[in-house]
Structure 1
Amino acid sequence: MAESMPVRCPACLREHLYAAPSYPCACGTPVSPSLDERAPATAVTHRVWDEEWVTVRCSACGRGDQWPHPELGCPCGTVLRIPVTRAAQDAPEDRPRPTDTPPPPSGTAKLPGVLRAPRPHPSARPRRAFQPVTIRTARDAVTAAALYLRWLGYQDIRRADQRPPSGVGLAARGVLAQVDPTVSPASLRDIECLWLTAMTESSNCVYFSLAGYDSDARARADTLGIPLFVLDLTGTPQPVNSPADDLDATGV
């Protein structure tokens, strides 16, 4: 059973009970990051790819693999980085990073999208659990979004005919999606360009971002009814606004 510990949000002081996620070792044994109960959780205010991974060693075979650093989204909007023990933090220098995404400029703040606790939906119906893919590269982020769209009920997912200003476009019958695997939050222009393109194709649209959204981008998406998701490094899209909550709950 994965270990758990109380975690206090430094922004709102709300306390959560956090359980460490388990990952499958190559030998088949489930492994979990070792949490550090003596250190406080910290707010994630910018993303550095090298800090997004920890090495977890299997107690059965001794193999050390890298997995996403534990994080938790507080309902107040703060993304919390859960402390792990020093052994887990000492990852080798060949950490994976996106294949086609440059690191952010030094000292540039990157605000993540606001993760919110999912709310129940009256139209929700039982569905099989979504099976994510761990995001280690930009290509993995696109794959995760495509799998999620298929899980929602969209079929025949393909690359969009029109390339978006940033990221990768995906299309299926009735929907146009944009996947932004960079370390910069999606901008107002990104949201408006996606909406305008979808309007010309008489399609709905949805946005997936690895680094979240600027505040004005989030506000415009709420006005236009565009579902926004943040891709965590486990490959699971997290809804960050009400249209995304509804789509996640009901599918298509």
Structure 2
Amino acid sequence: MESVPVRCPACRREHAYLTPVYPCPCGAPTAAPMLRGAAPEPITHRTWDDDWVTVRCRACGRHDQWPQPELCCPCGTVLRIPVAAAGADPADGVRPSHIPLPRTAPAPRPSFRPMTIRTGRDAVTAAAMYLRWLGYREVVISAERPSSRIDLRAAGLIAQVDSTTRPSTLRDVECLWLNALNTSVTGVFFSLAGYAQDARARADGLDVPLFVMDLTGTPQPVNGPADELLSAGA
């Protein structure tokens, strides 16, 4: 199917966007109808209520709540893709999958099967699933978030998951890096709202992999170290 061009207003990079498809309870594939011609909006503040849209199944007419389509630009900006109101003709909106980002090499593993994120705890669980998919074993989720803000631990790795509504900061990245350095492991960062520009630059210098997650629960690498981790795995 034809993809829809989406231009990032921050870096002006153009993407070919394919909206996610979800299974309706009736079994038919369902996708939010994209509003052609409407400009995407950078997400600088998240509210859980605004991150869901009502989508009508063309097969059975059922209305359900699904995650608002989003695109994670490699520049670090998270974009909200405008959709048509429920009941509009979704013929232009049905797409088979999400937008692939550049990879350093194809990953020799099955496709990642994400989980929908509705709460902050879901974000941590989705990140743990992703790390296991990368090949990390015995990934442990902290029962209560410690003062170090480390949410996940595995052999040779710690990870922080920022499910707040603001971009992760330079201090966030540096704190994770220091925790990883003190324990001689790799530190990986996951964020729902993206990263501040100085945080991106610092992570590149410290070799900290950065991932952005949308509400479908699919992490996307946004810097070189993350691309390398995705390619190599555990």
Question: Normalising by structure 2, what TM-score?
Answer: 0.82
**Relative to structure 1, is the Cα distance of residues 5 and 226 closer, same or farther in structure 2, using a 3 angstrom cutoff?**
closer
Q: Which moved more, 1:126-135 or 1:33-42?
A: 33-42
CA gap of 1:59–1:152, structure 2 versus 1, over 3 A, is same
Alignment map for 1:218-237 (pairs within 5 Å): 218-237=200-219
Unaligned runs of 5+ in 1: 90-115
**Higher RCO structure, 1 or 2 (CA under 8 Å, sep 6+):** 2
Letter in 1 for 2:83: V
Contact persistence 1:222–1:243 (CA under 8 A): yes
Find the counterpart in structure 1 of residue 226 from structure 2. Answer: 244
- Would you say how many aligned residue pairs link Structure 1 and Structure 2? 224
Is the 1:164–1:194 contact (alpha carbons within 8 Å) kept by the matching residues of 2?
Answer: no
Deviation at 1:82, TM superposition (A): 2.2
Say if 2:188 is the partner of 1:206: yes
Q: What is the rounded CA distance, in whole Å, between the counterparts of 2:10 and 2:207 in structure 1?
A: 28
Aligned-pair CA distance for 1:63: 2.2
Inter-CA distance 17–222: structure 2 relative to 1 (3 Å threshold): closer
- CA distance in structure 2 between the aligned counterparts of 1:7 and 1:209, rounded to whole angstroms: 22
Q: CA deviation at 1:163?
A: 4.4
Identify the match of residue 135 of structure 2 among 153, 158, 166. 153
Whole-angstrom CA distance in 2 between matches of 1:76 and 1:207: 16
Matches within 5 A, 1:127-138: 127-138=109-120
- Structure-2 change in CA distance of 1:75 and 1:230 (3 Å): closer
Q: CA deviation at 1:10?
A: 4.2
In structure 1, distance between residues paired with 2:185 and 2:56: 46
Indicate conservation of the 8 Å contact 1:74/1:117, yes or no.
no
SS of the counterpart of 1:50?
helix
The worse-fitting range, judged by mean Cα deviation, of 41-50 and 140-149 is: 41-50
State the distance in 2 between where 1:164 and 1:196 align.
Answer: 15
Conserved 8 A contact 2:45-2:166: no
Distance across 2 between alignment mates of 1:234 and 1:62: 22
TM-score normalised by length of structure 1: 0.77
Cα 1:238–1:88 change in 2 (3 A) is farther
Is 2:196 aligned against 1:197? no
Instruction: Determine whether 1:216 maps to 2:215.
Output: no
Quick check: 2:73–2:222 contact (8 Å CA) kept in 1? no
CA contact (8 A) 2:72 2:220 kept: no
* TM-align CA RMSD: 2.8
Q: Percent identity?
A: 60
Question: Residue 46 of structure 1 corresponds to which residue in structure 2?
Answer: 45
1:176 and 1:78 map into 2 onto residues whose CA distance is 24
Distance change in 2, residues 1:222/1:161 (3 Å)? farther
Q: What's the CA shift for 1:160?
A: 4.7
